[in-house]
Amino acid sequence: MGPIQTLLIVTAIAGVAGTGLGGLVGAMFRKDSNSTVSLLLSFAGGVMLSVVCFDLIPEAIATNAGLSAVILSVLLGVAVIYILNAMIDQDANAKVPHIDEAHPKTADQLNELIHSNYLEEHQKDAGSHLSLVIAGVVMAAAIALHNVPEGMTIGASYASHANSSISSAMLLAVLIGLHNIPEGMAVSVPLISGGMGRIKAVTVTALSGVPTMFGALLGYWLGDVGPLGLTISLGFASGAMLYVVFGEIIPEAILLYRSKLPTFFVIIGCMLGLLIIYI
């Protein structure tokens, strides 16, 4: 089996299967499971922090392309995801009645995590088929912004270990698969709450993990170019994930469950990730 086929299978397990499993778990919970999803999101954020800080960035530094290249790549990843996310938010939030100037700058309801609230507004208003498609595309883009960088981390890690083994990439895929379970819940719960059937919601949730595979191909391609390409790929993915964790996941988790518990779950996730990486 070639490297590309192996990479796609590994990423499909991490992305599609991990997110789909989360969607299945979410379908079994009550609709008002904000606190549960909050704690799991916090845990997932901690896992991703450990991946970025203890695996990806050290790998980027080890390429010897220069510390400035690593820092610039990380900042580029932060900037690109921030800008794209802001564009999606600006378009979607302006059309949801309860989101105004007094609303927190990040999501405080499950349906805001993936902009399914935007889709629900179009359904309520019996909008045109085109407007519903656009709302669906906005929701898909919001999900992809989380999943593409995750795939890039697997692809870049696989490229950096192509001459030895894929154990590191496999380990990363397992960690990202764990991370995707609560994200899958965050996708399926609001879809079910909005009236979608459970089977359809789980299917949609699993399919939302497909962008992870595209990200993996991009990360592998950049990482295979050479040391500088590998640095850019690892750094960009790290920056993107840092923004997602600190700019979205952790603030959303705290707003979903106003307690100190999300903080502890971030720390637990971080320690578990560190444990798995170095065992």
The C-alpha angle with vertex 152 and arms to 146 and 158, in degrees rounded to 5, equals 145
* CA neighbor of 34 nearest in space, from 186, 220, 219: 186
CA distance 23 to 204: 9
Side-chain half-sphere exposure of 229, counting CA atoms within 13 A: 13
| Distance set, CA 56 to CA 41, 61, 80, 104, 270 (Å) | 21, 9, 18, 31, 14
Q: Check: CB of residue 160 under 8 Å from CB of residue 261.
A: no
Q: Check: CB of residue 240 under 8 Å from CB of residue 81.
A: yes
CA distance 178 to 174: 6
| pLDDT for res 130 | 63
| pLDDT for res 248 | 86
pLDDT in tens, the chain (279 residues): 677 888 888 888 888 888 899 889 888 875 556 788 889 889 989 988 998 999 889 989 988 889 999 999 999 999 999 998 888 888 788 778 778 777 887 777 777 777 777 777 766 665 556 666 777 777 778 888 888 888 888 888 777 765 445 566 677 778 888 888 888 887 888 788 777 788 988 898 898 889 999 998 988 888 777 788 889 988 999 999 999 899 888 998 898 888 899 999 999 999 998 988 887
| pLDDT for res 77 | 94
Cα Rg of the chain (Å, integer): 18
Tell me how far apart the terminal alpha carbons of the chain are, to the nearest angstrom: 28
Structural domain spans, the chain:
3-278
